[in-house]
Structures are given as C-alpha cells and as structure tokens.
Structure 1
Amino acid sequence: MLSRLGAWVKEFRLVFLLFAVIPMATGSIVAYNYYPGQFSVSYFILSLIAIVLLHAGTIAFNDFFDYWTGADRINKERTPFTGGTGLLIDGTLKPAHVLVAGSLCFLLCITIGMYIVLTRSPIVFLFGVVGVGLGAFYTAPPLKLAYRLLGEITWFLSFPLTALGALFTQAPPASLAALGGMADVVVTTVVVMLPAAFLGTAGFFVLEFPDYNADRVAKKLGVVVLLGKRKTISMYVLTCVLAYLSIIAAVAFQYLPVSGLTALITIPLFGWVWTGLKKFLETPVRLVPYIVVGAGAIYLSCAIVMVALFFG
C-alpha cells in the first residue's frame, strides 16, 4: 500500500501537471518580449499556481468520474499513465475524498483567478471561466466532454487559451481600443503555441490506445473509439506533421527565431512512437516505453521553442 502522501502524489500525476506549465510559461514569455516593463514576477507565480491547481482539479475529477461511470473499473489494460490511477479501484483513496480534493483545487484556482481579475486584468475572467468550465466538465456531467468526442478538442484549445490568459495577466489592456492594438501579440501567442497544441494532442491519441476496450464499453467516445486504432495512427502522424509544419511556418513568418527549428531534432522520437503504435496495435499495454519517450519529446520540443522565443 502506498503511503498517504505517496498516494496523493500519484493521484495528481505530477508528470502531467507539467503540461499545464508549458502554455502559461509561453504566454508569459511573449508578454515579456513585447511588454518587458509591465512584466510582474508575482503575477507570474500566481498564474503558475492557478493553472497547476486547475489542471490538478481536472485530473482528480477525471479520475473520480471515470471511476463513477465504470470506465476505469472495467479497464483490464491499465498502465501507469492510462486507465486512471487505480487508487480508487484498489481502495487506497476514497472516491469522495478525491472529489473533494478536486473541488478544493478548483475553488483555490478560482480564488486566485478572481484576485488577478480584480487587481490586474478583467479580461482574464473570460479565460478563467472557460478554463474552469472545460476542466470541471471534461468528464463531469452534464457535459462530459471526453465522452462526446470533445476531449481532444478541449485539450488542443487549452494550450492557446492558457497562453492568452497568461499574456493578458502580464499585459492587461486598458480598454477595448487597446485590446485591438494588441492584435499582433495575440497572433504571435497563438502561433507559437500551435506546435505544443498539436504535439500534445498527438500524445493524447497515444494515451487513448490502452483504454480502447474499456472506453468502448463505457461509451466514452474519443478518437480511437470513433475511428478505430489503425485510422487513429494516421491521425497521430497527421497531427505530428502539422506540429512541425507550424514550427517551420512560425520561423518563416518570423514569429519564432531561426533557432526554433532546433525542435525538429525530435522528429525521430515521434517516429519511434509511431513504430510502437503499429507494432503493439493489439497489445497497447506494451506502449508504456513509447508513452514515456513521446512525453519526453513533447517536453523537449516545447522547451526548445520557449528558449528560442526567450533568447531570440
């Protein structure tokens, strides 16, 4: 049995919490590049805490509601990264406690967000409402976005939305006219986030493979259940291609410096994941090494883009 602290660390899946930091940090870097005099370290830290809490709440809700609907309870192909944490299945944590913990994360996130709205940037309220709504109702009723083919779309959109929220936290427009004058920086923020959004979505597809049988029985409609495994592999390749094309386009149109092309060195890593998907199509529990490498490739690609953006 895990210790109580170890169980909660596993519940919140710290390795996945890092994904929340990527768009927040990227949006903050863009804000610093355009408005260095307005950049606030204290608001950066508050934004970081808020987005981590939002993601933690989403993870806890996802674990609870997938257990509640039965998707995780019937999953016989669970891995360390898919099929839920297993902590509710084996009784290490109580479902009610996980639900309360997730709710508390959302509450703390909202509290910090409202402080930012009231003291820094009212426009952040819109991004906060959307972010909390998408996170809370990712698996929770009545929307159950992940059960209605909206999980992948929600995940993709979370990247540019989080980055824009971070941008406006650091560079709050004084008026609607001022907001209109920020068109260039808004476009820059979205463009430089596209590689992370595409690669993150490609990684999302991989994570769905081990859950295919359980999701199909539980009627959790994702891309793999809808299209089948083989067609989803094609979707994975397409999404990776779009990610790297977006990097090249961002450099070509000078949204990223030329050093951003260094991220292309990760292409072989995603190619290796592709070979794993084909090789273990019918035994997806053996995809764990490929999931690890894929996640590492995403982090490395995003880190290269952020460093290029910051120093470029």
Structure 2
Amino acid sequence: MSHEHHHPHTGDGRVIGAIIANLVLTLGQVLGGILSGSLVLIADALHNFSDMASMVIALVARRIARRPADPAMTFGYRRIETVAALVNYTSLILIGLYLAFEGGMRLLDPPEVGGGTVIALGVLALVVDTLTAILTGSIRQGGANIRALFLHNLSDALTSVAVVVSGVLIVLYGWRLIDPLITLLIAGYILWLSATEVGGVIRVLMLGSPPEIDTEAVLDCIRGLAGVEDIHHAHFWLMEESSAALDTHVVVANDAWPEQQVIKARIRKELASRFGIHHATLELEPSSEQHEGASLYGRG
C-alpha cells in the first residue's frame, strides 16, 4: 500500500504548494508576455493557469472523494476524481486549440519580440514547472485525477524548455517566426497529450469494461466450473479507476442447485485469484427457470 494511502492530507499540502507556485508564475508570464510581445510566454502562461485551475479542481475532488457512502451516493464519492480528470483534460484540449489558432495567425505577420524577457521568464518557468511536476509526481499513484495533474505539470516543464530555446534564437538571430512556430509546437503537444489520456477517463465514466481484463476468458472460466451450465446478462465495469467489478446471471444445472452457495463461492474465488475481480454480484438461477433468449452482455 502506498504512502499516499496512509497520509492522504500530505498529498493535499503538495498540491496547495503547487497551486501557489503556478499562480505566481502565471502572473509573471502574462506581464512579461505583454511587455515583450511574446505569444510563447502568453501560451505558457495560459498553460500554467490551466494547471492552477486543474489543481484547485483536483484538490476539491480529493476532499470530496474521502466522504463515506451515504443514501444519496451508495457507491461513495470516489468517482468525482474521474470527473475532475475529465474537466482537466477538456481544459487542456480547449487551450491547445486556442494556441494553435493564435500561432497560425502570428505566422502571417510575426511581431517584434523581446528575447531577453522570454529567456528570463522561460528559465523561471522551467524551475517552477519542474518543482511542481516533482510534487504532483510523488503522489500520482492517487488515481487519474492526480495523474492528469502530473501530466499537466510535466508538459509545462517541457514547454518551458521550448520557451527558453525560442528566446535564445530571437536574441541570437532575430528570428521572429520562432515565436509562433514554438507556440504551434506547444499547442500540438498539448492536444496530443490530452487525446492519449482522455479516452481512459471517458471509459471509466461510461462504465466500460476494464481494459486489462479479457472478458471472454472470465466468462469461459465461469462456464467451465462444475455445476455451471451457462451465463448471461454480464456487466463488467470499474467501480473506481482500478477496481474491477462483475454483475451477471449464472445458470446452474438443476441437479447442482442444492450446492448453489458452494458454486457461488467457487466463482468468487476464481474471479479474485485469476482476474483480480473482487467485487462480484452473482444472480444464480436453475436451468429449468433460466431466462429464454437472454443476451450475453447487457440486459437485452
């Protein structure tokens, strides 16, 4: 069990520290971007601002997630962290699209840019982004919500390197096109990063089957157990990000019906030991009373 599970509030303190650092950095970059005329600095500032907003959302979600289950939320509140991760990735996608548009417009008419200011603030941003990536990286095993934050911060650190390179090229060669070009690279990286991660979050919210579990192998395993004739109405899903669950109907042979509790226990043991499924709702029915024409998956 991770250290984070023993001391959840320690992770909160790290997130709060990262929020403060990103707030100060964002204000400095916005001011520097306006004074120097650099779109790259504005782009990095927007990226950092999205990180700060994401951290606030993640912090609130972490605290809500600790609430125990109640009559209104019988499964508890842990899935709020998955919702927060979706909000964070969506914000990244919107920012990436905005930066791509602005960078494309500036390619047509590159403005004068103060390279020295870009370098100074780029180096400062790199230091802050690296520290916040380390802070959130140390607790990223906390789930999709915190992992989204870590990826935000890691992408910030990488884009800060690009900002510094941009400033150096402007100072040395007066290459004005580098500012919008680097901005487009940052936008592309943000969009690629978001697209590769958001699918897993959506899968959890859509109650998709756990991607690491071969559902056909699980059902074949159950069918192969003594006393089991068939299986239908199977629902595989994730209770939380890494907690697989199965809800299904199991048809038991009529002559094995007196042993239904033994069969159920045997199924649970196989599910847990072979597939890591520790939450299973099993509805047993005798062969003589099984649902006719029932679908294997879902409720059809």
Task: Give me the TM-score of the superposition, normalised by structure 1.
Answer: 0.29
Task: Give me the TM-score of the superposition, normalised by structure 2.
Answer: 0.29
Larger Rg: 2
